[in-house]
Every structure is written in C-alpha cells, then in structure tokens.
Homo-oligomer: A and B are copies of this chain.
Amino acid sequence: MRIAEFDREFVLRQAMLAFMQHGYAKTSMQKLTQVTALHPGSLYAAFGNKKGIFLAAIEQYQADRNQQFTALFCQHKPVLPSLRQYLDSIVNECISGDAMKVCLLTKSISEVEGQDSQISHVLMTNLNAYENALAEQFERAIKAGEIPNTRTAEHLARFLAMGLYGLRTYALTNRCEQDLSQLADDLYHAMCN
C-alpha cells in the first residue's frame, strides 16, 4: 500500500488560480503540472482528465467562497454592514491585479457556454446557489427592518448578483479605484431603498 503524497486542496487551489488567470481552454496540462508540481500521470490518476481537474477546482472554489461568505454574513450580525464590507472586498479584488480579480464561475460560464453542457450546468447551479445565499441575507435584513420590504429578497439578490457580475467585468475596462468604489457605493444604496 502507499498513500497519495500530494495535498489535494493545495493542488486544486493552484489549478483554480491557473484557470482564473488563463481560462479553461488556454490552461494547458503542462501549465497545470507546473503550478501543482504534479506529473501528468498523477493528475490523470487523481482527476481523470483536464475536465475532471477543472470540475474539482470549481468545487474547491465554491467551497472556499462559501466559507468566506458565511464567515462574513454571520447570522447574529446585522446584514448591511457585512454587505458593505463584502462590496469593499470585491472592489479590492478587482483592483488587486492578481487572478482573484475575476470570478472563476462567471468567467468560465462565459467561456464554455454552448460548448460543454455538463460544465455549464455545474457553473449555473453554483451561481444560482450564490444568488440564493444572497437572497437569504436579504430575507434576514428585511425581517430585521434593515431594508424596507418594497422588493422581495429574491428580487434584491438578483439585482445585486447582476451588479457584482457587472462590476467585475467593468473593472477590466477601468481600474480606477475611485470609480469602482463609487459603483460599489451605488450598488449598496440601490439595495437600501
């Protein structure tokens, strides 16, 4: 017997970053062997093929983001200050210049849309779950009276999801921190009234 030597989470996070930086198609297996420090055979033994690595990396990405999200939007804290902090952290990611400025899910769904229905379906499911997580928080905010109940939580979540997808894309066209902060501010205020 012999146990696998590599750290699965490390490998998937490295792969994840490579996919975020170069996209699915242009992340070669050679690149993946470099960033994971694994040889092709090990990668294929562990994940089957390139698509398997990608799907596992998406899962890791989702797990990581979920943990961040639930840590920030803690149940016993008011929603709006967390939302504010969340928006700021996204603006910071957009400005950072590293791979984290893009969302793996939206970037990938834009790339593989109409090419691989399995990957598309996984990405759609994860993005819908993200929207639902936002809706839960808005539900909580409405119940607590932080936000007037003129719009449903689902409605608010949908609008914010759209805004955040747009913010990340817009940041590719204009890296001015002030402009991005202002947009985040606009989104914040669009939620509160």
Contacts and interface: CB of A to CB of B under 8 A. Distances in A.
Contacts of A109: 169, 172-173
Contact of A170 (B23, B26, B158, B183): B158
Contacts of A172: 106, 109-110, 113, 124
A49 B155 CA distance: 46
A151 to B, nearest CB: 9
Interface in A134-193: 155, 158-159, 161-167, 169-170, 172-174, 179, 182-183, 186, 190
A70 interface: no
B179 A170 contact: no
A182 B170 contact: no
Given A106-B169, A158-B179, A166-B169, A114 B21 contact: yes
A173 B25 CA distance: 20
A124 B164 contact: no
Contact of A111 (B23, B164, B174, B182): B23
Interface of A: 21-23, 25-26, 102, 106-107, 109-111, 113-115, 123-124, 127-128, 131, 155, 158-159, 161-167, 169-170, 172-174, 179, 182-183, 186, 190
22 contacts: A22-B115, A23-B25, A23-B111, A25-B26, A106-B169, A109-B172, A110-B111, A111-B111, A124-B173, A128-B174, A155-B182, A158-B179, A158-B183, A159-B183, A161-B170, A162-B163, A162-B167, A162-B170, A163-B163, A165-B166, A165-B170, A166-B167
